[in-house]
Structure 1
């Protein structure tokens, strides 16, 4: 795997092929619509890197939508009534396009173009798609260790590995923090989206932690036991963000700004959950746009290493 990326290939890239131009535009649209933190952070990157962030995000978003929102239709995703079959067809289309060096579908063509230029390890995607399959068969996880190793390894840690060649780190030691950032982002999602996941019949909170605190998310009620359990999860989440923050200094300045901005924006969701008294059932806790603008401005003015993980 190219942990330091293929900087010269990335920086020289200006797609002129209309198919690739269309594909990269659609990847940017998907990121802007669904991955706002990724989109805001990527604004601080040079255009040559920015498009590659969008490409990685688009691939992961489309796969995730197959298992979470199968009613969604996208021209980049094969149609089938069975989400499991649809996911396999999507993975097959990706694998074949990657092996061939391209295809006729714009989004997939852009994704393949990006990944091949950046030298991203193809093994990342096998781990990713295996994790997506688990969303169709697993509803609960017994422990944090099982959740992290059995699911988040392929759904979160590997996303950090996919993004790393785009960020062009100075050292391979950046891989550990990148993996931690992927885990931190996803754990934040799990804590924020408890209600939405229940609607899909899933619980991404370790069952042993729920049992130890004597609380049940299916009751959708904020109790002292629920607050104690959530506070414990939030502290675990912040520890992941602190480990991820180590990697900011291992990146060139534009990449450091990108990562610092995304880290600060997303970690603030934890504070929003705390301010809502751990109520993640009545509404989704978000970071206001004005706060995001303030974070982006602060990173530009004061540098990427200030105030990374705050309570």
Structure 2
């Protein structure tokens, strides 16, 4: 945790019990540390949220990152599954909760952060325990819904989003951001046995997930599929922009900044014709600064509604709806 600012309590309640105060403070500290260490773009964006919201978002991120790290780092796979089962037991109150889980439960009880979304996220990260192959776009977006769109659903109560129409936008932003992550990390994921590029799209370019995993897939095929997914992400980002108006102005810039900073990874890959097999794309600081300026303008314009049509189109909309319905 940076600075000496006193920890803010979640916006609509006050922690009164000393034990709750200590647990909340530790949960915030752990969440902030992991946020700064592992999510630089998101950490930058959250700095523009109100202080109390920053703390609550850090706790949500800390919980989500804990689940992700258990799936990624604990081996053998059977041990990872047991650790994830224990985490879910802590979440539901069936086992003593470590601080970050206890802090998350406070948000669920007092701010309405949905436990159902957290459980769906755990269902998603369990897939990462083993080698991953996804059959088609529906399977891909279902995975993205579980591990990322659920985060948007957890964030909505903390941001003050009350209109149900804001839920679809939160889901679409989560889907878009996870697609960006997937394309950025193709090489790293393949080295760990995980291929999130859909088998159906790879087949259309003459290759397979197994070939991506063992490094024999044609480079042009991987690049083509990656850029197809970036185009899908762009459509979802544009659609999600329509929901910015549902976020109260005090929190809107932080979320708009997160959207622009994440989207800029894909935009840079597209401009530079980057192949994700060559490693991660890094967005330079000057471009991040420009994206923040764009986010400021978008934040203001959102008060007057979207400035361009954000429809997904019938094809992507149908795939998106099937994926989310089956999550």
TM tier relative to shorter chain: 0.7 to 0.9
1:91 is aligned, of 61, 70, 88, to 88
Residue 235 of structure 1 aligns with which residue? 231
Query: RMSD in angstroms over aligned alpha carbons?
Result: 2.9
How far apart, in 2, do the equivalents of 1:43 and 1:63 lie? 23
Spell out, residue by residue over 1:83-111, the C-alpha distance to the aligned partner (whole angstroms, 9 max, x if none).
111111122122217xx9xx673322222
The answer to whether residue 169 in structure 2 is matched with residue 173 in structure 1 is: no
Are the structure 2 counterparts of residues 298 and 156 from structure 1 closer, same or farther at C-alpha, using a change threshold of 3 Å? closer
Residue 277 of structure 1 aligns with which residue? 273
Residue 35 of structure 1 aligns with which residue? 39
Alignment of structure 1 residues 17-166 onto 2, 5 Å: 17-70=21-74, 82-96=79-93, 105-137=98-130, 139-149=132-142, 151-166=143-158
Residue 11 of structure 2 aligns with which residue? 10
Residue 292 of structure 2 aligns with which residue? 296
Give the C-alpha shift of residue 226 in structure 1. Answer: 3.5
Are the structure 2 counterparts of residues 264 and 220 from structure 1 closer, same or farther at C-alpha, using a change threshold of 3 Å? farther
- 5+ residue gaps, structure 2, are 1-8, 309-327
The answer to whether residue 198 in structure 2 is matched with residue 190 in structure 1 is: no
Are the structure 2 counterparts of residues 220 and 13 from structure 1 closer, same or farther at C-alpha, using a change threshold of 3 Å? farther
Tell me the TM-score normalized by structure 1. 0.83
2:251 is aligned, of 248, 252, 255, to 255
Paired residues of 2:156 and 2:170 also in contact (CA < 8 A): yes
Residue 315 of structure 2 aligns with which residue? none
Are the structure 2 counterparts of residues 273 and 28 from structure 1 closer, same or farther at C-alpha, using a change threshold of 3 Å? same
Are the structure 2 counterparts of residues 209 and 104 from structure 1 closer, same or farther at C-alpha, using a change threshold of 3 Å? closer
Moved more, 184-193 or 128-137: 128-137
Task: Give 3-state SS (helix, strand or coil) of 2:202's partner.
Answer: helix
Which structure is richer in relative contact order (CA contacts within 8 A, separation 6 or more)? 1
Task: Give 3-state SS (helix, strand or coil) of 1:10's partner.
Answer: coil
Give the C-alpha shift of residue 263 in structure 1. Answer: 0.3
Task: Give 3-state SS (helix, strand or coil) of 1:281's partner.
Answer: helix
Task: Give 3-state SS (helix, strand or coil) of 2:255's partner.
Answer: helix
Tell me the TM-score normalized by structure 2. 0.79
Spell out, residue by residue over 1:93-149, the C-alpha distance to the aligned partner (whole angstroms, 9 max, x if none).
22217xx9xx67332222222232211222112211111212224520110112223
Task: Give 3-state SS (helix, strand or coil) of 1:82's partner.
Answer: helix
Paired residues of 1:19 and 1:104 also in contact (CA < 8 A): no
Give the C-alpha shift of residue 81 in structure 1. Answer: 7.8
How far apart, in 2, do the equivalents of 1:153 and 1:181 lie? 10
- 5+ residue gaps, structure 1, are 1-7, 72-79
Runs of 4+ displaced beyond 6 Å: 306-309
Q: How many equivalent pairs are there? A: 290
How far apart, in 1, do the equivalents of 2:225 and 2:58 lie? 35
